Amino acid sequence: MLVLTRKTEETIRIGDDIVIKVTRIGNGTVKLGIEAPINVRVLRGELAAVEKPVAAPTVSLPGFGFGVLSDQFPHVA
Q: What global pTM score does this model have?
A: 0.60
Q: Where are the domains of the chain?
A: 1-51
**DSSP E strand boundaries for 1-77:** 11-14, 18-26, 29-35
What pLDDT is stored for residue 53 in this prediction?
65
What pLDDT tens digit does each residue of the chain (77 aa) get?
Answer: 999 999 999 999 999 999 999 999 999 999 999 999 999 999 988 887 776 666 666 666 565 555 555 565 666 54
* 31 strand-pairing partners: 24
Which pLDDT tens digit goes with each residue over 40-56? 999 988 887 776 666 66
Query: In this structure, are residues 42 and 48 in contact, taking their beta carbons and an 8 Å threshold?
Result: no
Query: In this structure, are residues 51 and 36 in contact, taking their beta carbons and an 8 Å threshold?
Result: no
